[in-house]
Amino acid sequence: MPVSRRGFLSLVGSGASRSEVGALLAARGHEAYQAAAQQGQQAGQGQGGRAGGGGRAARPPLPEGVEEIKISSNENPLGPGKTVLDAIIGQFDEAGRYPFNSNPGEGKLVETIAALHKAKPENVVLGAGSQEILKTAIRGFTTPFRPLVTGAPTFENCTGLARRMGHPVFEVKVDSQFKINLEDMLAVVRGAGLVFLNNPNNPTATVHGLKTVTDFVERVRRISPDTVILIDEAYHEYVTDPDYATAMPLALSTPNVFVARTFSKAYGMAGMRIGYAVGQVDTVKPLARLRMPYGISVLGVAAGIAALNDPKHIEAERARNTEVRKFTVKALEDLGCKPTVSNGNFLFVDIGRPARVMRDACAKSYVQIGRDFPPFEGSHARISLGTMAEMQKAVAVFRDVLRPVMPAGGGR
Amino acid sequence: MLTRRKFVQAAGVAGAAWIGARGRENAVWNLLEPGLEAQAAAPAGPIIPLSSNENPLGPPKAVIDAIQKAFGPAGAAPGRYSGGAGPLIEALAKQHGVQPANIVLGCGSTQILRSATHLFTARTKAMVGTIPTYEECAGYADMMGNPVRAIPLDSEFNVDLDRMADAARGSGLVFFCNPNNPVATYVGASATRDFLARVNRISPETTILVDEAYFDYVTNPDHATHIPAAVEDPRILVARTFSKAYGMAGLRMGYAVGHVDTIKKMADFDGGSGTSSLNVLAMAGGLAAVQMDGSFVKGERDRNTAARDFTMKWFADRGMKPTASQANFMFINIGRPAKEFREACLAKGVRVARDFPPFEKTHCRISIGTMDEMQKATKVFGEVLGKASATHAA
């Protein structure tokens, strides 16, 4: 297979990469499991913690009066809020009904999402978390002959599944600002089955503006009209960059482009497993065909509808996160660390030492930060943003952990 | 000796029948599949839902309490990703006397059926099932372009075990739904054991998926789970769900029990953590359900049996013969198209099930509600069936 031979491109899916596949198998679960796996726990069946416990139950029990600070999985520390919890409670009477029979039913959630994005219900496909959307996209759009083009580092669900299926993967290293390197993606996009564009990008927290994304889409379509572009806007609600806007209208007006969204981040429902895709009917049809039927619980359906009908709650959540983000960025900069320009509910920080060193040290003080993100595991850590109170405590821990070796004013 | 050619349909033909039968009761799907029947308009006011084989009473209080408790301090817990399925899997393992490594959870048994179909069928490895049966496996195999062999039932609507075994030869997956949805009939434990052994013998590479979704509603004394066989043999897999007797259809939780190697394949297919599609509230509810003593399920079975006996007798008294139901639904020869009956019932506030080809011209599936609901529903059935429609009678 012809590959541009520059060092930052890697073509995976050949026999040479089998050991990496094994590593990915261990790492491929969702965020909490990836964290758990890295801590030497088995990420397999039956090894997890309490339902809703965040994947840390296999760790030693917390001393009395100590609360763990979980800033490892880019979750909303406050959960979904009272309006949504009330909607869930209000739906208990429907728990025995399938989501296509319940009131409100799954179709009402689809209609609510469609109305929000000025789309038709047939433009919307639900998923059990946006992870199902991403996995379905790999199954639907890549083949052994039609590669995945994705970032490095980026959210790995697509990468992991494509590799397991033996479909080739082009991993394109982020640019010097830790943004998804769109120019380098264009160099390998011809003939690709799917481009995965995580915007903002997890774990690097950077974002591209709408004009840049629109230009990129146009160029991909010129070079490789049959390539499908998946724009994952999981962290959309947290973006403050004025150049950014959603690609929803772009997806609805352009063939082979669709946007993925999730209720797992700002909406505070990671445990509820609700995500969706929006695009032109012909584009999202393969997702609809491959999706698991009625995979969202009736409680999730009611929760999703209630959440979308409460936009003020999301505005407040964005403001809260922005304030915490400013505080944490400044605190880390004061310690000589260099965070990227974050538009998410997490930071990607040059800590001048391996992530594992900081992670292990923080864990001793019951602060759980993100796992390794190759190729930057030797220098960068991903730190999710908790509540202000949590981050004040966490920063005190960071100070202890980072001060001994961090030279003042320089993290590189 | 029956020939295969007579009873095993080629992929294309069977595929078309399955597509017609699939009707996956899914709004999004219907929107994208305009060929499917549009939902008839329902009247304002309460509807008695007898269309989806749900427990009309919903989950026990212990399940609801556990879900609310799972909100956690300050209601923040649903904001966290699941930490894993450990406690629920361990509780299920204890309940069934197996190891945790023998169990994989699914987003309803739907996910179990899909994963099994994905793993065990191929272009050259057909999926085998009765026609009609629960369509998830056949529909998904067909969607993937893998062949489907649809095996007719016998005259009493029982699984024709000889035909099934014969058709299983060289196939990838045999889907054995027992009791069988939508026809409600049941193959006894000893006959099923013989069938499993026979398929293993004549087609050693074939996986058999025994779907025990309606297990808890069986009253036939020759009744046992096939989990013990599944745990011993990598070619046998048992699917279970919380959607039926436990009344948790809306929560989406099911599981498979089998040999560790088969379970590992299933878990790997959708992600090693096995929890990416599972919501934390359903896991908490499922755990509470498993931890209850057996009296809840027995009470639900007894309730269903009484309502089933009442409704079966009502139809039998009017010369309409239901099949020998061992589930929370019935399959009845109403002597006219199901669609006509369904639409007339819906107009009077009772929703019965969709079409099930090849019997859509004569038979209807009716789920069992509460006794009160069935008393009301049979009044409606009497009004609808009493009307002259002999022109449609079979």
- Interatomic CA distance for residues B32 and B357, integer angstroms: 21
pLDDT at B41: 61
Which residue of B90, B273, B300, B367 to mutate against A (max A Cβ within 10 Å)?
B273
Minimum distance, in Å, between the CA of residue B10 and any CA atom of chain A: 23
pLDDT tens, position by position, B224-246: 999 999 999 999 999 999 999 99
CB contact under 8 A, A29 and B276: yes
pLDDT at A3: 37
What is this structure's pTM?
0.88
pLDDT at A1: 37
Average predicted confidence (pLDDT) for chain A:
87
pLDDT tens, position by position, A379-400: 999 999 999 999 999 999 999 9
Mean pLDDT across A347-353: 97
CB contact under 8 A, A50 and B87: yes
pLDDT tens, position by position, B165-180: 999 999 999 999 999 9
Least confident of A53-57, A168-172, A336-340: A53-57
Tokens found for residue B361: 């011209």
pLDDT at A407: 54
The β-bridge partners of B322 are: B332
pLDDT at B259: 98
Contacts B279 to A, Cβ<8 Å:
128, 271-273, 297, 299-300
CB contact under 8 A, B81 and A30: yes
Q: Searching chain B, which residue's CA lies closest to the CA of residue A37?
A: B273
Contacts B267 to A, Cβ<8 Å:
44-45
CB contact under 8 A, B28 and A271: no
Tokens found for residue B248: 């948790």
For B32, which of A79, A99, A122 is closest by C-beta distance? Answer: A122
Taking Cα atoms as reference points, which of A325, A47, A1, A382 lies closest to residue A192? A1
pLDDT tens, position by position, B282-337: 999 999 999 999 999 999 999 999 999 999 999 999 999 999 999 999 999 999 99
Mean pLDDT across B187-210: 98
pLDDT tens, position by position, B241-268: 999 999 999 999 999 999 999 999 999 8
Cβ contact B257:B56 at 8 Å: no
Q: Searching chain B, which residue's CA lies closest to the CA of residue A99?
A: B250
Mean pLDDT across B54-67: 97
pLDDT at A61: 74
pLDDT at A63: 85
* B375 φ, ψ (degrees, to nearest 5): -65, -45
Whether A216 shows a pLDDT value over 50: the answer reads yes
Tokens found for residue A182: 């769109």
Whether A39 shows a pLDDT value over 60: the answer reads no
pLDDT at B42: 67
Contacts A62 to B, Cβ<8 Å:
none
Whether A192 shows a pLDDT value over 80: the answer reads yes
CB contact under 8 A, B107 and A128: yes
Q: Searching chain B, which residue's CA lies closest to the CA of residue A46?
A: B86
Contacts A158 to B, Cβ<8 Å:
none
pLDDT at B269: 84
For B107, which of A36, A106, A295 is closest by C-beta distance? Answer: A295
Minimum distance, in Å, between the CA of residue A237 and any CA atom of chain B: 15
Taking Cα atoms as reference points, which of B385, B336, B327 lies closest to residue B364? B336
Minimum distance, in Å, between the CA of residue A368 and any CA atom of chain B: 13
CB contact under 8 A, A110 and B28: yes
Q: How confident is the model at residue A60 (pLDDT cuts 50, 70, 90)?
A: low
Mean pLDDT across B106-121: 96
What proportion of chain A, given as a percentage, has pLDDT over 70? 83
Whether B213 shows a pLDDT value over 50: the answer reads yes
Q: How confident is the model at residue A163 (pLDDT cuts 50, 70, 90)?
A: very high
pLDDT at B40: 52
Whether B9 shows a pLDDT value over 50: the answer reads no
Cβ contact B58:B244 at 8 Å: no
Query: Which amino acid, residue A237?
Result: E
Whether A54 shows a pLDDT value over 50: the answer reads no
Whether A9 shows a pLDDT value over 80: the answer reads no
Residue with tokens 């599949």: B33
Minimum distance, in Å, between the CA of residue A351 and any CA atom of chain B: 26
pLDDT tens, position by position, B16-44: 344 333 333 332 223 223 333 445 566 77
pLDDT at B84: 78
CB contact under 8 A, B79 and A268: yes
CB contact under 8 A, B103 and A45: yes
Contacts A49 to B, Cβ<8 Å:
83-84, 86
Contacts B280 to A, Cβ<8 Å:
51-52, 271-272
CB contact under 8 A, B78 and A271: yes
Cβ contact B244:B213 at 8 Å: yes
pLDDT at A412: 44
Q: How confident is the model at residue A26 (pLDDT cuts 50, 70, 90)?
A: very low
For helices B108-120 and B136-143, the axis angle rounded to 10 degrees is 50
Minimum distance, in Å, between the CA of residue A42 and any CA atom of chain B: 9
pLDDT tens, position by position, A281-321: 999 999 999 999 999 999 999 999 999 999 999 999 999 99
CB contact under 8 A, A122 and B64: no
**Contacts across the A-B interface (CB distance below 8 Å):** 296
- Interatomic CA distance for residues A204 and A344, integer angstroms: 9
Whether A106 shows a pLDDT value over 90: the answer reads yes
Three-state SS at B75 = helix
Mean pLDDT across A44-70: 55
Q: How confident is the model at residue A49 (pLDDT cuts 50, 70, 90)?
A: very low
Mean pLDDT across B367-393: 84
Mean pLDDT across B182-189: 98
pLDDT at A222: 98
For B77, which of A271, A292, A297 is closest by C-beta distance? Answer: A271
Q: Within its chain, how far is the Cα of B291 from the centroid? A: 23
Contacts A73 to B, Cβ<8 Å:
80-81
- Interatomic CA distance for residues A347 and A340, integer angstroms: 7
pLDDT at A64: 85
Sequence-distant (≥ 6) Cβ neighbours of residue A403 within 8 angstroms: A335
pLDDT at B356: 96
Bond prior to A61 in cis (omega within 30° of 0) = no
Whether B394 shows a pLDDT value over 60: the answer reads no
For B79, which of A92, A271, A294 is closest by C-beta distance? Answer: A271
